[in-house]
Amino acid sequence: MSNIDPVSGYPAHDQQPGPARPRDHQATARRTALTICTIADVAAGLLGLWIVLYLLDANRGNAFVQFVHGMADWLSGWAQDIFVMDTEGLRVALNYGLPAVLYLLIGHGIALRINRA
């Protein structure tokens, strides 16, 4: 049986539920875990995209670039100016990269915990 699952490490739909979990509870937990992973991935993706756009010197007058920058500012508002340095590109990479990594770690950790409960 092959596990071709978008979220590795979680049991596939065709696997039998554990003895202590009814099938409905397992399906609900799995959907919740997948939703949390997706939200964490989108947040980290937007932050990573802003880092790439900044480093490639994207046109800040463009509506898409403005949207990504606004979302990245909102998602990383709590982490702004943790790192203050002379190199602007490195400052942006660290101040937006740290929240991206934390969102991934925390989101996937919570999803794993929900799925194993």
How is the chain split among helix, strand and coil, in percent rounded to 5?
65, 0, 35
CA distance 18 to 10: 13
Q: State pLDDT tens for residues 41-81.
A: 999 999 999 999 999 999 999 999 999 999 999 999 998 88
pLDDT over 90, % of the chain: 64
Contact assessment for residue 81 and residue 95, using Cβ atoms and an 8 Å cutoff = yes
The reported pTM is 0.76
DSSP 57: T
Q: Which two tokens stand for residue 38?
A: 């997706």
In this predicted structure, what is the pLDDT of residue 24?
A: 78
| Element housing 62 (H / E) | none
